[in-house]
Amino acid sequence: MDDFVFRNPTRIIFGRGAESKVGVEARAYSGKVLLHFGGGTIKKTGLFERVTASLEAAGVGFVELGGVKPNPRLSLVREGIELCRRHGLGLILAVGGGSVIDSAKAIAAGVPYAGDVWDFYTGKASPVEALPIGTVLTIPAAGSESSTGSVITNEEGAFKRALNSELIYPRFSALNPELAFTLPRNQVANGIADIMAHLMERYFTNSRPVELTDRLIEATLRTVIAVGPAVLRNPRDYDAWAELMWSGTVAHNNLLNTGREGDWGSHDIEHELSGIYDIPHGAGLAVVIPAWMKRVYRHDPVRFVQFAVRVWGVDQSFRDAEATVLEGIARLEAFWASIGLVLRLKDLGIGNDRFAEMASKCSSGGKSTVGHFIPLGKKEIEDIFELAK
Amino acid sequence: MDDFVFRNPTRIIFGRGAESKVGVEARAYSGKVLLHFGGGTIKKTGLFERVTASLEAAGVGFVELGGVKPNPRLSLVREGIELCRRHGLGLILAVGGGSVIDSAKAIAAGVPYAGDVWDFYTGKASPVEALPIGTVLTIPAAGSESSTGSVITNEEGAFKRALNSELIYPRFSALNPELAFTLPRNQVANGIADIMAHLMERYFTNSRPVELTDRLIEATLRTVIAVGPAVLRNPRDYDAWAELMWSGTVAHNNLLNTGREGDWGSHDIEHELSGIYDIPHGAGLAVVIPAWMKRVYRHDPVRFVQFAVRVWGVDQSFRDAEATVLEGIARLEAFWASIGLVLRLKDLGIGNDRFAEMASKCSSGGKSTVGHFIPLGKKEIEDIFELAK
């Protein structure tokens, strides 16, 4: 097991009506908050009213900033920073899914910083302070409600880049599974892919032995595999949604990578796709990950055998490890297909004309690599696009 | 899944040499701490020197209070409270196992309280503030290094009672698996029983469905079952100790009871045993839990079938649930026997002469019950002692 430091301070308020408790939580940090959200669905569903009523009951004022899009944009982040400064806001309350929360985190880090917030995403600077963040989660997927990560797209050049910092752990997150009942089917499926990707990025590691965290990841994957189809069959199945929503948080709250190094190459590769083609992150991951697996499994077939047997219940071919490995990957693909995800770039409408460009961008023009299971340079990234086409 | 609120703020510093990092951690809270420990082993092993060197390097002064015994005593807690007040100490640094940490928590809660600290353990009062606590863990067992619990024995009447409060979560805990290399075998076995007990107390629940947390508990149990015998075979197996130590924390840091009600009846019953006979808590649990299982399994055989199949790999008798249940309990007993634990009260030197007295004490003279899976009154507690004799 690798040495590690772990702390996750997010307070989780889980259950029906959780969104009506955020006023009191927010009040502990500030009397005036930025209420950050997406396309306005929350105004149609009544969620906006419940959240603002909770704020008002706690004596917390707010300034609204809606309009966050999937693959959240730097320009809106800048607007949010400006609003916080102008109105002296002391907390960002994100009401939405991963994009809204990631945008809130960027704003929170940007407000006390004299330079350009994009510096944090290019690695030019690291945040030394941030405004506190609270969330009301509406989509089980990104895990941003209790994570250190934020991913933002800079429209100038279609760069999609990530910031990781303990300073942007949300202070509190309200998780009400009922809020997911009305999600469109494709968004649910993309969310399931995203959750599973977070688990698999942690699973495929060179750190060993990592018995406990292996088993915890396998446990969470099996839960998602069990309840994912259930929420698609019956979108009002509270119990199944509760399992899926809590799995999405546990998948990405950093407990499951304690003592091990994750891979994250597939995420970096997917960011090139969604940065340029503006596809949903989960949909991109469903295409990239099986291709990544086919490219890298020979590096450590035993780990892939364990994945096949323990996660997918594959009947192990003891004399033919490769057969077991490939059956595990096939089961993953079959599962994703069964919930309506597509598995090839061409089915996302993406041709092979920009593979070289994306591989170059992802590897800083061939000068760097992504991923840890095996480091992927420009050539290997192109191989993966080819396997995914 | 039940509604829940979850937050665990403990910062875990895990790995070789972790104890040498506590000075800096402590400094963030106070310039002068109470250094709390047990029988003095830490002065023989060099641990005391490494911890105090770390404090000194960070400019943190300390006052010593050793002498914590297993089943930690209220009298020493009172002494610690007095020392903190007299010297204006701002943090309790516990160096030891669960007893030392539980004692530190009692001191931390007692210092700012005008009344008698025992009030918190009888339920007469609840803490509203507490000094911060840090720990250097030497025994994987109690999970107190990242929990809300503290158990103290009041020598006047041999009452052993628990306090639970978010205020006594340690702020930081240093976990170095090497510190466990020199533990006596019986202490290791007792620790394994304690860790498994924390997992099983959470597992046997009436809350449902609880798919994710079921699987996380099963994953942690299987890890402990795998690595427990390994550390006994080779006490210098760092990797196995690392898995066991981190499992002990995860077992009791409250993540695994999110959305479910635990039982804890066996803990309450065991507290009567160790309160009167001063046996190690883990040794008492190894006797009580199988007896508890035999008394209660008919309440929900399906849950015990799941336990047998998923945790112990029992080949399920599909037409005979009870056979599967009993095989699961037998496997637990066989595992505990294999690591040197005794399974009957008589083998701990405890006769049946005080069963009625203990059952009465545990149920407030027959007026209350313990446990949630099924509530146990005086009669049921006596049944369990009979099954354990």
Is the same domain home to A110 and A221? no
In the Cβ-directed half-sphere of A379, how many Cα atoms lie within 13 Å? 1
Q: pLDDT by residue (tens digit) across B191-248?
A: 999 999 999 999 999 999 999 999 999 999 999 999 999 999 999 999 999 999 999 9
Asked whether residue B3 is assigned to any structural domain, the reply reads: no
At CA B375, angle to CA B370 and CA B380, rounded to 5?
85
For residue B242, the chain A residues in CB contact (below 8 A) are 1, 259
In the Cβ-directed half-sphere of A18, how many Cα atoms lie within 13 Å? 27
Closest Cα in chain B, distance from residue A3 (Å): 5
Distance CA A196, CA A282 (A): 9
Q: pLDDT by residue (tens digit) across B120-133?
A: 999 999 999 999 99
Those residues with Cβ within 8 angstroms of residue B258's Cβ, 6 or more apart along the chain or in another chain: A12, A14, A246, B4, B6, B213
Chain B residue with Cα closest to A239? B1
Distance CA B221, CA A307 (A): 19
Asked whether residue B155 is assigned to any structural domain, the reply reads: yes
**Burial readout B350-369 (b: 16 or more C-beta within 10 A, e: otherwise):** beeebbeebbbbbbeeeeeb
Residue A64: φ, ψ to 5°: -90, 140
Total count of domains within chain B: 2
Q: What DSSP state is assigned to residue A20?
A: G
Distance CA B221, CA A216 (A): 11
Is the same domain home to B157 and B238? no
CATH of the domain at B245: 1.20.1090.10
Closest Cα in chain A, distance from residue B231 (Å): 14
Closest Cα in chain A, distance from residue B367 (Å): 33
Please indicate whether, in this complex, the C-beta atoms of A247 and B6 are within 8 angstroms of each other. no
Q: Which helix (H) or strand (E) holds B165?
A: none
Q: Answer whether A222 touches B (CB < 8 Å).
A: yes
CA distances from A277 to A159, A280, B222 (A): 11, 9, 44
Closest Cα in chain B, distance from residue A360 (Å): 38
For residue A18, the chain B residues in CB contact (below 8 A) are 3
CB B65 within 8 A of CB B80: yes
Is the same domain home to B54 and B169? yes
DSSP letter for each residue of B148-163: SEEEEEETTTTEEEEE
Is the same domain home to A174 and A191? no
The pLDDT of residue A17: 97
Choose the closest CB to B4 out of A15, A209, A226.
A15
Examine residue B170 and say whether the peptide bond preceding it is cis (omega within 30 degrees of 0): no
Which residue is listed with tokens 């900033």?
Answer: A65
Please indicate whether, in this complex, the C-beta atoms of B4 and A16 are within 8 angstroms of each other. no
The pLDDT of residue A158: 83
Q: Answer whether B342 touches A (CB < 8 Å).
A: no
Mutate to test the interface with B, among A2, A7, A21 (most CBs of B within 10 A): A7
Last residue of a domain, one of A179, A208, A243: A179
CATH of the domain at A125: 3.40.50.1970
CB B259 within 8 A of CB B4: yes
Look up residue B231 and give its two tokens: 């550390």
Is the same domain home to B149 and B198? no
Band of the pLDDT at B158, cuts 50, 70, 90? confident
Band of the pLDDT at B168, cuts 50, 70, 90? very high
Is the same domain home to A209 and A73? no
Band of the pLDDT at B40, cuts 50, 70, 90? confident
For residue A171, the chain B residues in CB contact (below 8 A) are none
Is the same domain home to B198 and B318? yes
Q: Answer whether A211 touches B (CB < 8 Å).
A: yes
Last residue of a domain, one of A179, A196, A214: A179
Is the same domain home to B217 and B149? no
Please indicate whether, in this complex, the C-beta atoms of A10 and B5 are within 8 angstroms of each other. no
Asked whether residue B340 is assigned to any structural domain, the reply reads: yes
Is the same domain home to A318 and A378? yes
Q: What DSSP state is assigned to residue A78?
A: H
Distance CA B171, CA B8 (A): 9
The pLDDT of residue B249: 98
Chain A residue with Cα closest to B221? A212
Phi-psi sector, B137: left (phi>0), alpha (psi -120 to 50), beta: beta
On the question of pLDDT at A40 being above 90, the answer is no
Asked whether residue A356 is assigned to any structural domain, the reply reads: yes
Q: pLDDT by residue (tens digit) across A247-256?
A: 999 999 999 9
The pLDDT of residue A104: 98
Asked whether residue A55 is assigned to any structural domain, the reply reads: yes
**Burial readout A187-216 (b: 16 or more C-beta within 10 A, e: otherwise):** bbbbbbbbbbbbbbbbbbbeeebbbbbbbb
- Which of A215-224, A273-282, A345-354 is predicted with the least confidence, judged by mean pLDDT? A273-282
**Which ranges of chain B does DSSP label H, i.e. alpha helix?**
22-27, 41-45, 47-57, 74-87, 98-110, 119-122, 185-203, 211-233, 238-250, 265-277, 281-296, 301-306, 312, 321-338, 355-362, 378-388
Distance of CA B89 to the CA centre of its chain: 26
Which residue is listed with tokens 């106070």?
Answer: B30
Q: pLDDT by residue (tens digit) across B328-370?
A: 999 999 999 999 999 999 999 999 999 999 999 999 999 999 9
Chain B residue with Cα closest to A248? B212
The pLDDT of residue A157: 84
Choose the closest CB to A1 out of B9, B13, B239.
B239
Distance CA A26, CA A91 (A): 7
Could you give the 3-state DSSP secondary structure of residue B226? helix
Chain B residue with Cα closest to A2? B15
- Which of A103-107, A192-196, B152-156, B340-344 is predicted with the least confidence, judged by mean pLDDT? B152-156
For residue A15, the chain B residues in CB contact (below 8 A) are 2-4
* Bridge partners, A73 (sequence order): A153
On the question of pLDDT at A329 being above 90, the answer is yes
For residue B1, the chain A residues in CB contact (below 8 A) are 14, 239, 242-243, 246
Choose the closest CB to B212 out of A10, A246, A258.
A246
Those residues with Cβ within 8 angstroms of residue B105's Cβ, 6 or more apart along the chain or in another chain: B92, B130, B133, B144, B149, B150, B163, B168
On the question of pLDDT at B323 being above 90, the answer is yes
Those residues with Cβ within 8 angstroms of residue A10's Cβ, 6 or more apart along the chain or in another chain: A145, A146, A169, A170, A171, A172, A173, A253, B7
Last residue of a domain, one of A179, A194, A210: A179
Asked whether residue A130 is assigned to any structural domain, the reply reads: yes
DSSP letter for each residue of A21-58: GHHHHHHTT-SEEEEE-SSSHHHHHSHHHHHHHHHHHT
Those residues with Cβ within 8 angstroms of residue A233's Cβ, 6 or more apart along the chain or in another chain: none
Choose the closest CB to A211 out of B212, B223, B255.
B223
Percentage of residues in chain B having pLDDT higher than 70: 100
Q: What DSSP state is assigned to residue B166?
A: G
Choose the closest CB to A222 out of B15, B215, B227.
B215
Asked whether residue B5 is assigned to any structural domain, the reply reads: no
For residues B273-296, average pLDDT: 96
Distance CA A196, CA A341 (A): 13
Please indicate whether, in this complex, the C-beta atoms of A1 and B243 are within 8 angstroms of each other. yes
Q: Is B173 exposed, middle or buried (0-12, 13-18, 19+ CB in 10 A)?
A: buried
Please indicate whether, in this complex, the C-beta atoms of A259 and B242 are within 8 angstroms of each other. yes
Closest Cα in chain A, distance from residue B7 (Å): 5
Is the same domain home to A311 and A383? yes
Q: Which amino acid is at B26?
A: A
Closest Cα in chain B, distance from residue A239 (Å): 6
Measured over the CA atoms of residue A240, residue A243, residue A244 and residue A246, the dihedral's sign is positive
Domain residue limits at A164: 11-179
Asked whether residue B122 is assigned to any structural domain, the reply reads: yes
Is the same domain home to A252 and A114? no
Closest Cα in chain A, distance from residue B102 (Å): 21
Short-list A353, A356, A361, A364, CA closest to A384: A356
Could you give the 3-state DSSP secondary structure of residue B45? helix
Distance CA B141, CA B197 (A): 10
Q: pLDDT by residue (tens digit) across A347-376?
A: 999 999 999 999 999 999 999 999 999 999
Short-list A183, A172, A213, CA closest to A54: A172
The pLDDT of residue B110: 98
The pLDDT of residue B157: 84
The three state secondary structure string of A316-378 is CCCCCHHHHHHHHHHHHHHHHHHCCCCCCHHHHCCCCCCHHHHHHHHCCCCCCCECCCCCECH
Is the same domain home to A169 and A197? no
Closest Cα in chain B, distance from residue A59 (Å): 23
Q: Which helix (H) or strand (E) holds A5?
A: strand A4-14
DSSP letter for each residue of A280-330: -HHHHHHHHHHHHHHHHGGG-HHHHHHIIIIIH-----TT-HHHHHHHHHH
Could you give the 3-state DSSP secondary structure of residue B12? strand
Closest Cα in chain A, distance from residue B129 (Å): 16
Distance CA B264, CA B257 (A): 12
Count contacts between A and B (CB, < 8 Å): 109
Distance CA B122, CA A253 (A): 36
On the question of pLDDT at B88 being above 90, the answer is yes
For residue A250, the chain B residues in CB contact (below 8 A) are 212, 216, 255
Chain A residue with Cα closest to B227? A211
